[in-house]
Amino acid sequence: MERREFLAGAAAAVTALAAKELTFPTAASAQAAPAQTLVTQLWSRHLQWVGTQAQQVADPFGTGVKVGEACLAAGFAAVDLTVRNDGHVHPSNVATHLPLMLNGMRSTGALCDHIGVNFAPPDTLGKPEWIESQLVHEILSVAGANGIKRYRFNNAGGVSFPSNTFGEEMEAMLARVRVNHNRLAEINAHYGVGGVAHTHASNIGTSVDPYVHAMRGIDPNLIGINLAIGHVATAAPGTTWQIAMRRAMPYIKCTAVEDLRATVNATTGALSLSRAQPPGPNGTGNGVINWTTFYSLLGNGGYSGAAESQIEYSITGANGTTVSLNSAFFADHPQFVSGNLTPAVMIAAMKHDSDFIRARALAAGWAAAQII
């Protein structure tokens, strides 16, 4: 299908998709959902240290092998591969490099049917130039042909509400976003993939509900939500995130799991939340997210998909220097050149997280056979 056919059919797609009714599962149907699995997955941004960026461009297959080996050593089953300019596969190289890197990863036994891209559907109507400028067709055609089932978008920003917008103006923004979600859904259907919008602070959907509104009437298998619970719980602590999860469950097709630490300023009484390394497989968390409740909600809501680690907390490196892992480290980064970060240090941190995912999911009622 040519681009002009997509553009000509966009209006019809909006009407047709908006007419669909979304069916929410009952408790009984959710419990009886077949082949419900939880896949331990790692965002490949945290595995870019397997080589320099130049090495990864020069040898995508060999890089894929190293990524797969590191993923398995850290206790994860699957990789969510970055396809963006600062990631493992540059969009301009996707036709040649993505198949090779996938083959390399899969040769190790690691799974990879997710990628992360920098698509950002806007809140503007008219001609959808963003589809061409963001290389949507180029990336998704290759991804779909090589076994990718899902991609994460709005990773590097997206539409957010200006501080001076209220009520009807916000509703109008969401309606415009829905038009572009519909356009993306039609493209996804053609290539056999699904997209999930990442919930974080620079997007409309940190609190989930705006995304649900902007996806209304669209098949969730084509356009859904990547629930980054560390982001959602930061915006809606206490039990509010649990209500948001339950309300959005039919749309949640991927999850990013991050633990949070709460601190209170002794002088002002102000509450602040920050990323935290999980306390260990036998711990329950750092007080903000009840992980047993989180995984129970996923199970009872019929969820089947990835539990993906995003390693964004700080650790003490081999040289005793504290370093935030919320960065894309290549092998020639000063932290690795200095020896403060090493492959062993990184693998140990990530193994800690994969063990925690499995332990808390088991405690929440998932069977061992369901956790990959």
Tell me the DSSP string of 244-290.
HHHHHGGGEEEEEE-EEEEEE-TTT--EEEEEE----TT---SBSS-
Indicate the domain borders of the chain. Answer: 3-13+33-366
Q: 263 is written with which tokens?
A: 């601190």
The rounded distance, in Å, linking the Cα atoms of 279 and 181 is 38
Is 80 exceeded by the pLDDT of residue 234? no
| Dihedrals phi, psi of 240, to nearest 5 degrees | -65, -35
Strands, E assignment, 30-186: 38-43, 78-82, 111-116, 150-153
pLDDT digits (tens, 9 = 90+) for 92-146: 999 999 999 999 999 999 999 999 999 999 999 888 999 999 999 999 999 999 9
pLDDT (0 to 100) of residue 20? 43
What is the residue whose two structure tokens read 């206490």? 238
CA pseudo-torsion sign 279, 282, 286, 292:
positive
CB-CB contact of 80 with 114 (8 Å): yes
What is the CATH architecture of 3-13+33-366?
A: Alpha-Beta Barrel (3.20)
Average pLDDT over residues 140-157: 94
| Percent over 70 (pLDDT), the chain | 86
pLDDT (0 to 100) of residue 284? 54
56-60, 286-290, 335-339: least confident range:
286-290
| Percent over 90 (pLDDT), the chain | 66
Average pLDDT over residues 337-355: 94
CB-CB contact of 242 with 236 (8 Å): no
pLDDT band at 6 (very low <50, low <70, confident <90, very high): very low
Greatest mean pLDDT among 135-149, 156-170, 221-235 lies in 135-149
Is 60 exceeded by the pLDDT of residue 283? no
Q: 285 is written with which tokens?
A: 């968390």
Question: Could you tell me whether strands 259-264 and 271-276 are parallel, antiparallel, or unpaired per DSSP bridges?
Answer: antiparallel
Is 90 exceeded by the pLDDT of residue 339? yes
pLDDT (0 to 100) of residue 11? 42
Q: 105 is written with which tokens?
A: 């990863």
pLDDT digits (tens, 9 = 90+) for 243-253: 989 999 999 99
Is 60 exceeded by the pLDDT of residue 233? yes
Q: What is the pTM of this model?
A: 0.86
CA pseudo-torsion sign 312, 313, 319, 321:
positive
